[in-house]
Amino acid sequence: DSGVTQTPKHLITATGQRVTLRCSPRSGDLSVYWYQQSLDQGLQFLIQYYNGEERAKGNILERFSAQQFPDLHSELNLSSLELGDSALYFCASSPIGGAYTFGSGTRLTVV
Amino acid sequence: DQQVKQNSPSLSVQEGRISILNCDYTNSMFDYFLWYKKYPAEGPTFLISISSIKDKNEDGRFTVFLNKSAKHLSLHIVPSQPGDSAVYFCAASMNTGNQFYFGTGTSLTVIP
């Protein structure tokens, strides 16, 4: 157990639907990151939050949004889902300037 | 724009031999580098790091080398073991930004 908890582990949904992925960071870590890993692709950075505020944005689609709550857990919202959104979504947390600790990921399948 | 590149998608090595995984980067502002290991159905796990003030960092069987002038780092695993079979990602950051840029990964297979 890495200390970073992601739920659900698996999600199957239809095109056009909306889903919410949840992440609880490791205790004490203020930064949360979301990454997408599609088939044969590396880890693509989506977005970073630090202590509730958006810190950096990567290749995140407009259909996707995220937030970090006062208790530091984070949610990634994916809407108007397309087949190409099927991927592994990882959350990671870190202390300031430190290495990331990743969760085990949510596997999203859009059918 | 892929700022961190791992040009070898896969690598096979005999058990007991050395595994060398390579990583190149384009941004000269990167000054902190990590290697992660990922097994199927699991999240990446931190393996070893190196700061730009060093050119080598060693942890047991794992050694990371950094060549700043060539913008190149490599991970050496000696001796390789079957349990090392996994996908290895390198990642780089600018210390102030704290955002890590990841390579596309190299799948290592260690043959018993």
More confident of the two residues A72 and B97: A72
The burial of B11, by beta-carbon neighbours within 10 Å (0-12 exposed, 13-18 middle, 19 or more buried), is given as middle
**Which residues of A are less than 8 Å from B32 in CB distance?**
97
What share of chain A in percent tops pLDDT 70?
98
**Which residues of B are less than 8 Å from A96 in CB distance?**
98
Chain B: residue whose CA lies nearest to A47: B99
Say what the pLDDT of residue A58 is. Answer: 87
Tell me whether A102 touches chain B (CB under 8 Å): yes
Range with the poorest average pLDDT among A18-32, A61-75, A95-109: A95-109
C-alpha–C-alpha distance, residues B80 and B73, integer Å? 19
Using the CB atoms, write b or e for B37-59: b if 16+ within 10 Å: bbeeeebbebbbbbeeeeeebee
Q: What digits encode the pLDDT tens for the residues A19-55?
A: 999 999 999 999 999 999 987 677 888 999 999 999 8
- Res. A110: pLDDT tops 70: yes
Q: What digits encode the pLDDT tens for the residues A83-94?
A: 999 999 999 998
Task: Spell out the per-residue pLDDT of chain B, length 112, in tens.
Answer: 688 999 999 999 999 999 999 999 999 999 999 999 999 888 999 999 999 999 999 999 999 999 999 999 999 999 999 999 999 999 998 865 567 889 999 999 999 9
Beta bridge partners of B73: B23, B66
Tell me whether B12 touches chain A (CB under 8 Å): no
Contact criterion met (CB below 8 Å) for B33 and B92: yes
Neighbours of A87 (CB within 10 A): 20
C-alpha–C-alpha distance, residues B80 and B47, integer Å? 15
Domain architecture of chain B: domains with CATH: 4-111 (2.60.40.10)
C-alpha–C-alpha distance, residues B89 and B34, integer Å? 8
Say what the pLDDT of residue A40 is. Answer: 65
Q: Under the phi-then-psi rule, with left for phi > 0, alpha for psi from -120 to 50, and beta for the rest, what region is B67?
A: beta
Contact criterion met (CB below 8 Å) for A23 and A5: yes
**Between the CA atoms of A26, A27, A33 and A37, what dihedral angle is there, to the nearest 10 degrees?**
10
